[in-house]
Amino acid sequence: VFDAFPNPFGEAIAITLGRSLPRGGVLQLYDATGRLVMKRSLYGALLEGDQLNLEVPGSLPAGAYFMVLKSGADRFYRPLFRY
């Protein structure tokens, strides 16, 4: 339901929505241990094809991550890697 580019990522991640989210949602980034390391609320309606740019804290180490997009009862997951 969403694509993340580039993967692996560096200082930023571009998220492109694959479907509309009429109620907005929340993007969460978890490290490989399941610890929440970043969260961004998405307010208002979002349309299919909308792009969101997330700046990633420089203190976030290289490694494996999981991005979760929550909207209402829906949950969508994407594995990501930081170099």
Q: Give the C-alpha separation, 52 to 26, whole Å.
A: 12
Q: What is the DSSP letter of 79?
A: E
Q: What is the pTM of this model?
A: 0.93
Looking at residue 50, its pLDDT comes to 95
- For residue 83, count CB atoms less than 10 angstroms from its CB and return exposed for 0-12, middle for 13-18, buried for 19 or more: exposed
**Mean of per-residue pLDDT scores for the chain:** 95
pLDDT above 90 as % of the chain: 98
CA distances from 35 to 24, 41, 43, 47 (A): 23, 18, 24, 29
pLDDT tens digits, one per residue of 16-38:
999 999 989 999 999 999 999 99
Quick one: pLDDT band at residue 1, thresholds 50, 70, 90? Answer: confident
